[in-house]
Chains A and B, each alone.
Chain A
Amino acid sequence: AQSVSQHNHHVILSEAASLELGCNYSYGGTVNLFWYVQYPGQHLQLLLKYFSGDPLVKGIKGFEAEFIKSKFSFNLRKPSVQWSDTAEYFCAVRRPNAGNMLTFGGGTRLMVKP
């Protein structure tokens, strides 16, 4: 079983719709959390990250994510999507006390219709 779960594999939205992509992890203890994005034909790039402090993290291009420790979740949100947000989104978890390597979720492919 995957230790980082993204339950929505494919999401289709119209422009201006609100977005929420789920991410859950199964690790206890301290975790660092990340969202990466892969636009069509491009390499993966960091969207935002959470290490500590305010659980609501703001990233690039109007994205934000909320860390809810009690739910082991780090969902990605955007109030109003654009066609240019069409991409694949990956959640990733790093465990500082377990090798520091990133473990990625299965990805969510988002298509935004113009």
Chain B
Amino acid sequence: NAGVTQTPKFRILKIGQSMTLQCTQDMNHNYMYWYRQDPGMGLKLIYYSVGAGITDKGEVPNGYNVSRSTTEDFPLRLELAAPSQTSVYFCASSREAITGELFFGEGSRLTVL
């Protein structure tokens, strides 16, 4: 089973460039999330979605945008990359919020120089 798939796994950007991190899940989960992981800081929620057409900000949304046109896909867009966005990004999904069990992708390591 594919589960949650993220692309690309690695990317180097120059300051000011834009890019989209792709995330797709094949479990028909309603909830999807984007986290960033920085050393010693755990995972911080960037954006989340409770279903197609519905998105909301998490703890650290500045500099990012998302969309949710289908149940399967939840892309994360960086419009003007900054060094502070160097991080590892994780996409996750869950059937519902209540159980709290998230299924994670393998992560995307982004470096902004």
* A residues whose Cβ falls under 8 Å from a Cβ of B: 2, 4, 6, 9, 32, 34, 36, 42-46, 49, 90, 92, 94, 96, 100-107
Query: Do A46 and B48 touch across chains, with their CB atoms under 8 A apart?
Result: no
Q: Which of A45, A94, A96, A104 contacts B43 (CB 8 A)?
A: A104
Query: Do A101 and B45 touch across chains, with their CB atoms under 8 A apart?
Result: yes
With A and B bound together, what is the CA distance between A2 and B42 in angstroms?
10
With A and B bound together, what is the CA distance between A9 and B48 in angstroms?
27
Query: Do A104 and B42 touch across chains, with their CB atoms under 8 A apart?
Result: yes
With A and B bound together, what is the CA distance between A10 and B85 in angstroms?
25
With A and B bound together, what is the CA distance between A101 and B92 in angstroms?
12
Q: Which residues of B contact A36 (CB under 8 A)?
A: 102
Q: List 29 A-B contacts (CB under 8 A).
A: A2-B41, A2-B42, A6-B42, A34-B100, A36-B102, A42-B106, A43-B4, A43-B90, A43-B106, A43-B107, A44-B92, A44-B102, A44-B104, A45-B104, A46-B102, A49-B100, A90-B42, A94-B97, A94-B100, A96-B98, A101-B48, A101-B58, A101-B97, A102-B100, A103-B45, A104-B35, A104-B44, A106-B41, A107-B40
Q: Give chain B nearest CB distance to A50 CB in angstroms.
A: 10
Q: Give chain A nearest CB distance to B45 CB in angstroms.
A: 6
Given contacts A43-B105, A106-B40, 7 further A-B contacts (CB under 8 A): A4-B42, A43-B107, A49-B101, A101-B45, A102-B100, A104-B35, A107-B40
Q: Which of A46, A104, A106 contacts B101 (CB 8 A)?
A: A46
Q: Which of A43, A46, A100, A107 contacts B42 (CB 8 A)?
A: A107
Q: Give chain B nearest CB distance to A42 CB in angstroms.
A: 7
> Which B39-65 residues have a C-beta within 8 angstroms of A?
40-45, 48, 58
With A and B bound together, what is the CA distance between A2 and B59 in angstroms?
12
